[in-house]
Amino acid sequence: MTMPEPTHRLAGKIVLVAGAGSSAPGWSIGRACAVAMARHGATIAALDFDRTAAEDTVREIEQIGGRAIALQADVGDADAMADVVNQVIAEWGRIDVFHANAGISKTGGPEDISMEDWHRIQHVNVDSLLIASKLILPHMRRQRAGSIVTVASVAGLRYIGYPHLAYSVSKAALIHFTRMLAQQYAADGIRANVVIPGLIDTPRIQKNVAHMFDAASLDNARAARDKQVPMGRMGTPWEVANAVVFLASDEASYITGAELVVDGGITGKYV
């Protein structure tokens, strides 16, 4: 699946995407989501720890005729995130959608992961959502409207065939965090939903996961991951992005607290 056809599903929406870049050349979930939402008419504030990665995403958006700005910040830095939110509000006056996609990982079980890595992963993957929520929710409450779409992982639901403890626990926490947001802020017109991707073919495979299958061959690692999925293949970033677009849009106006699994059937396989 490739880039979606343009529509007006998100026309007029101001969207802040955290983790809008890519850690390596290619289409990450965050970059695909940012471009897909722009493709559907949204104006994008593309935030990433790596400014160059954010700028690359903005270039992709501008090439399809979209509108975006690149922002740089560590999502775990409350002061830096306050500057980001203030800049978006100053630029456009509102934030209609917050897409929380930033995340890091490191494979290993309890005997392998260091406390330093454990805390770093929880901080980036979970604490960052608390930081962003404190900053963005007041604006959404004043608007009496808003959509928060987080991205977790099937690793937060199931063991996926190799030890990935810190990442998995952080994604489980993210899922429940999103449920809590949905319940507390529903009466304020704010929706919160989580997309739960399965095995997706992104640059992250090469950096973090391939060695768990075949350190010598990325192609073999991809083939092994394909075989894990009942549909016989990994998903594409665009298939995740389409789910994010739906939950961000007014088409999902009566959906909050939902967990949309995009996994080719893999979670059912591991029940």
Q: How many domains does the chain have?
A: 1
Residue 161, pLDDT score: 83
Is residue 19 within 8 A of residue 57, CB to CB? The reply is: no
What pLDDT is stored for residue 205 in this prediction? 65
Q: What's the pLDDT tens digit per position in 116-142?
A: 999 999 999 999 999 999 999 999 999
Find where tokens 């396989």 sit.
Answer: 269
- Pick from 85, 106, 87, 16: which is nearest to 54 by CA? 16
Is position 6 within any domain? Answer: no
Predicted local confidence at residue 1, as pLDDT? 64
The answer for residues whose C-beta is within 8 angstroms of residue 195's C-beta and 6 or more apart is: 149, 150, 151, 152, 240, 243, 244, 247, 260, 262
**Is 103 a domain residue?**
yes
Question: What is the dihedral angle through the alpha carbons of 104, 106, 109, 110, rounded to the nearest 10 degrees?
Answer: -70
pLDDT score of 2: 76
Question: Which residues constitute the domain of residue 246?
Answer: 14-201+236-261
Give the model's pLDDT for residue 122.
Answer: 98
Residue 78: which CATH number?
Answer: 3.40.50.720
* 123 within domain boundaries: yes
For residue 128, the one-letter residue type is S
Domain presence at residue 130? yes
pLDDT in tens, 33-52: 999 999 999 999 999 999 99
Q: Residue 149 domain-assigned?
A: yes
Residue 270, in any domain of the structure: no
Which of these is catalytic: 159, 162, 167, 254?
Answer: 167
Residue reference for tokens 């963005």: 136
Q: Is 167 a catalytic residue?
A: yes
pLDDT value for 104:
93
> Which parts of the chain have pLDDT scores under 50?
271
Q: What is the pTM of this model?
A: 0.93
Tell me if 194 is assigned to some domain: yes
